[in-house]
Amino acid sequence: NIVMTQSPKSMSMSVGERVTLSCKASENVGTYVSWYQQKPEQSPKLLIYGASNRYTGVPDRFTGSGSATDFTLTISSVQAEDLADYHCGQSYSYRTFGGGTKLEIK
Amino acid sequence: EVKLVESGGGLVQPGGSLRLSCATSGFTFSDFYMEWVRQPPGKRLEWIAASRNKANDYTTEYSASVKGRFIVSRDTSQSILYLQMNALRAEDTAIYYCARNWDGFDVWGAGTTVTVSS
C-alpha cells in the first residue's frame, strides 16, 4: 500500500496569510494526487485533481503543485471560511489518503 | 443537480450484517466509477470499495481490510449503489460515504453512520 503522509497535523493562521500544506507519498505516484477540503460536520469536497488542476468553482487562492512523491497545497491568502481539514489522496495504486491537516484561523 | 444520498446505517452487533444504499441522480450512473470511502471517528479517510463503470463491466475492487466481508453492487435500473457489509467488527465503526470518481472523488454524499457495538 502507498502511504500518504501529511504535515503539519495542524496549523493556526491569521486571515490573509499564505498557507502551505505538504503531502508526501511513500513511492512515486506521478501526478495522481487529489486534495480535499472537509469543513466541520460536512463531507469532503474536491479542490485539486491531477496534482495541480483546480476543480470547478474552487477559488483561485487554492493551488496544487508537485509530482512523484512530494505535493503541496497552497492557499495564497487564507480566509475565515477556509477553516477545515485538508486531505490528500493518491489514485496511482488503488486509493489511499493522508492523515489530514487541520487548519484553524486565529 | 448531481446528488448522492446514502442510507442504511445504524447500530449493529459484532458479527452482524448491514446493507448501505447510495441513491444517485443528475448524471449517467453507468459512465462513472462509484466508490465507498469511510471515516472512523478521529481517523483518516479510508477507501474501501469500488465499482467500475459499464465500459469496464462494472468490475469491483476492495481494500484488504474489507475484502471477503463486503460486497459492492449496483442497481443500474434505479441508479443505486449498494454496500453489503457482513461479519462486522468494532473497527468497521465509521461514517460511510459514497463518492463518484471522475479524476478524484468529485461528488460525495453526506454519509451514513455505522456503529458496531454490543
Q: What is the pLDDT of residues A5-45, one digit of tens each?
A: 999 999 999 999 999 999 999 999 999 999 999 999 999 99
Q: Which of B61, B105, B106 lies closest to A94 in CB terms?
A: B61
DSSP annotation of A92 reads: S
Region label for A26, one of left (φ > 0), alpha (ψ between -120 and 50) or beta (otherwise): alpha
Mean pLDDT rounded to a whole number for chain B = 97
CA distance linking residue A100 with residue A46, whole number of Å: 14
Is residue B42 less than 8 Å (CB to CB) from chain A? no
From chain A, the residues in CB contact with B27 under 8 A are none
pLDDT band at B107, cuts 50/70/90? very high
Q: Taking 90 as the threshold, does the pLDDT of residue B103 lie above it? A: no
For B66-80, write each residue's pLDDT tens digit. Answer: 999 999 999 999 999
A10-13 and A101-105: which strand pairing?
Answer: parallel
Q: Chain A: nearest CA to B33, how far in angstroms?
A: 12
pLDDT value at B91 more than 90: yes
pLDDT at B51 over 90: yes
pLDDT in the model for residue A62: 98
On the 0-12 / 13-18 / 19+ scale of CB atoms within 10 A, A92 is middle
Could B47 and A96 be called an inter-chain contact, meaning their C-beta atoms sit closer than 8 Å? yes
Query: Would you state the pLDDT for residue B92?
Result: 98
Residue A47 to chain B, least CA–CA distance (Å):
9
pLDDT of residue B61: 97
Residue of B5, B6, B32, B44 to mutate when probing chain A, most A C-beta within 10 A:
B44
Taking only the tens place, the pLDDT of each residue in A29-39 is 999 999 999 99
Question: CB-CB: which of A1, A34, A43 is closest to B111?
Answer: A43
Question: Using an 8 Å Cβ cutoff, are A68 and A77 in contact?
Answer: no
Cell 463486503 found at: B70
pLDDT of residue B50: 98
Identify the closest residue of chain B to A5 by CA–CA distance. Answer: B44
**Grid coordinates representing B25?**
441522480
Average pLDDT over residues B83-88: 98
Q: Which residue of A has its CA nearest to B36?
A: A95
Per-residue pLDDT at A2: 96
The burial class, CB within 10 Å (0-12 / 13-18 / 19+), for A25 is buried
The string of pLDDT tens digits covering residues A46-100 is: 999 999 999 999 999 999 999 999 999 999 999 999 999 999 999 999 999 999 9
Q: Which residue of B has its CA nearest to A98?
A: B44
**Does any CB of chain A come closer than 8 Å to the CB of residue B1?**
no
Residues 6+ apart with CB under 8 A from A26: A2, A3, A4, A5, A69
Inter-chain CB proximity B104 and A34 less than 8 Å: yes
pLDDT at residue B45, as a whole number: 96
Q: Number of residue pairs across A and B with CB atoms under 8 Å? A: 55
Q: Which of B22, B25, B10 is nearest to B49 (CA)?
A: B22
**Quick count: other Cβ atoms within 10 Å of Cβ B61?**
16
Nearest-CA distance from A106 to chain B in Å? 22
Using CB atoms within 10 Å of the CB of residue A106, give its burial: 0 to 12 exposed, 13 to 18 middle, 19+ buried: exposed
